[in-house]
Structure 1
């Protein structure tokens, strides 16, 4: 097992004092092999602060960790997932101690996969969410040749943590790609308004580019803490109505039932995003999703036949592999036009 740590900042982006301290602490810990107590004494602080600085450096992407080893139980689960759900590839990472560390682990797993799969000339469609942000934070900063990156969905007028526009621009910066944005909100007032927006030249061109992406990278959301639910749905009543209609989660803002089918609800007809039917036609779809809260949505996405590649955590993989009806659900999905492998 080895670690590859990058703590070097952009040459033309001067460090602030906090970032400089994070880099110094990370260097002593990962390169200098000092203990946290030794680092605390060196910087005149305490172990608790050193621990927080190390966590912040990983969260911000200042430190990127690559572990060049495969864990046998995870490999076995990968094989089982591929067989059961007809996947081209599965990547299983160890579960973290909490949601944030699990997201970080998923991001590292997805980034390692993508960094090997990106090719010059590709168009990459990007979804949105905290897990996709974690993926970008783990991605190496380098060029893959001419790439295009396009958002798979519209954005939110208010989202203080992250938005679809940030995801595309960050990926474009990391991979030196051309970025294309959905210049529209993810939810509009009516189906008629959605249809009109999608006829606008700029939006239609982005939509067509997204529908014909070579590779799509996305996550799915639950009905409690996903960004779409938190910032995109106007009222608790609407959330309850979506759940009453059978929704277990969403992908690209489209709410789906336990078998991955879009629910019959007006909100789904007002969504400005690549449709779930279009998603099935994209050659390679990478779903990055894990954690207990996302289990139902992750299972629904697999039952719906959307991903060809799954990146998930060990406990979620164990539960998915224990599903007795999973294979039958995937087989039944073929008659709905789902991809087969």
Structure 2
């Protein structure tokens, strides 16, 4: 009698030899269980038990070989390190080009699988990355969302606002959802103007629906590229702002920074946004690394689609 290496129990060499033979026939030679049973004059149920025992005693160990371009281990490390619900790491072929097309393709594939029905989707519609995502999202065969809601009012030029409205409408059409628009600008001149506009009945209805969002789809921005005035950028840098989600700015640790801008934004409030169950960010490129890291540190998002270089830096 010998004790097997995993300490499961004493077993005879003859039994170990039988375990090894059955395991090799099945796993290495590809012989089916009925044929193994016939060749060794065993019952098929016993062959099945022997195969299970071979795994239990450590004679058979499963090794998963990842295909090229798949980075499951890195995705799992991102989940562990930043308490994410999920992560998707995209292998960009040529970093001399824009990472957005690769991110958008991967994000569209992810959303196509995870939009399964009944969701209320919130969308930060001015993001060029998210515009690319929605362009690649296939038409669903059945309704997979109840509503698609604009998370922030119109920002940028008149053309930008038209594109944002079309984006909300397109995502609603693809998911057979009802579109909900914010009929006001996303940034106003003064805090007093914002307070007055918040009394608008149409906006009050949208505000109530923001609290019902189950999936938020956002980008992660930075002061340099945010659709704000130069004076706002200067103030944000002065108070340590490194990134933003839905025009809510935060510092390198992910903590919100106080600024005049925050009192002029018409969009989902931080409490309602933080209560959304799935907060998906699609963001990449080393230029955005500080903003992405800060967003993760602060728990602004809990699902990330990013590129391989950024993912490696986030885990280093």
**Could you say whether these structures have the same fold, taking a TM-score greater than 0.5 normalized by the shorter chain as the test?**
yes
Deviation of 1:319 after TM superposition, in Å, equals 0.5
Distance 1:127 1:281 in 2: 16
Q: Secondary structure of the residue that 1:316 maps to in structure 2?
A: helix
* Maintained 8 Å contact 2:69/2:90: no
Give the aligned partner of residue 46 of structure 2.
Answer: none
Distance 2:298 2:142 in 1: 32
* Maintained 8 Å contact 1:154/1:164: no
Equivalent position to 1:120, from 109, 117, 121 = 117
Deviation of 1:96 after TM superposition, in Å, equals 4.7
Deviation of 1:71 after TM superposition, in Å, equals 4.0
Aligned-residue RMSD, C-alpha: 2.0
- Cα displacement string for residues 61-112 of structure 1 (whole angstroms, at most 9, x for unaligned residues): xxxxxxxx95466211101000101111100001352476411111111111
Give the aligned partner of residue 155 of structure 1.
Answer: 154
Distance 1:200 1:99 in 2: 47
Listed as ranges, the matches of 1:94-243 within 5 Å are: 94-98=91-95, 101-128=98-125, 129-145=127-143, 147-156=146-155, 158=157, 160=159, 163-224=163-224, 226=225, 229=226, 232-234=227-229, 236-243=230-237
Q: Say if 2:261 is the partner of 1:289.
A: no
Q: Give the number of aligned pairs.
A: 248
Q: Say if 2:274 is the partner of 1:280.
A: yes
* Maintained 8 Å contact 1:253/1:271: yes
Q: Secondary structure of the residue that 1:265 maps to in structure 2?
A: coil
Q: Which one has the largest radius of gyration?
A: 2
Distance 1:298 1:144 in 2: 34
Give the aligned partner of residue 245 of structure 1.
Answer: 239
The 3 A distance-change label for structure 1 pair 296 and 150 is same
- Cα displacement string for residues 271-326 of structure 1 (whole angstroms, at most 9, x for unaligned residues): 1111233211111111111111211111111011121211110000000001xxxx
Give the aligned partner of residue 311 of structure 1.
Answer: 305
